[in-house]
Structure 1
């Protein structure tokens, strides 16, 4: 299964596993890619020459995502949804 569940008190939070295909809103449409890495502490990466940071925690992880063209993006869990 592509999702893992984490108990965060009374609510179960769905976390995405590595290799899960996800999408996010971008411009007037959407973009998609596959999760390559999951972070549960604050993370910073240099992507296309720019420093990109995301706050991350056990309850709200960040993900490094590879798009079909090979480019990479760093996204927070709250920015993503599983591709249908």
Structure 2
């Protein structure tokens, strides 16, 4: 597994969003395909051993689903 794609529960991460960056905290990790309904929309990420998917909770309580390759340690 690529070290840059490995994050632990509770870890703070950032990702590009629009013209800036967003941040949140890792809530859950998935090493398989995962689909969640977030803000009324189905979101799917094809998580794997090499590029896990992460459920991330933002400070305002919203949740996002991102692959490890889409996020960076904060």
Q: Please indicate, yes or no, whether the TM-score normalized by the shorter chain is above 0.5.
A: yes
Question: Aligned pair count?
Answer: 72
Please show how residues 4-83 of structure 1 align to structure 2 within 5 Å.
Answer: 6=1, 13-14=2-3, 15-83=6-74
Going by fraction, where is strand more abundant, 1 or 2?
Answer: 1
Larger radius of gyration: 1
Instruction: Flag structure 2 segments of 5+ consecutive residues without an equivalent.
Output: none
Going by fraction, where is helix more abundant, 1 or 2?
Answer: 2
Root mean square deviation, CA, Å: 0.7
Instruction: Flag structure 1 segments of 5+ consecutive residues without an equivalent.
Output: 1-5, 7-12
Q: Moved runs in structure 1, 4+ residues, more than 6 A?
A: none
TM-score by length of 2: 0.95
TM-score by length of 1: 0.84
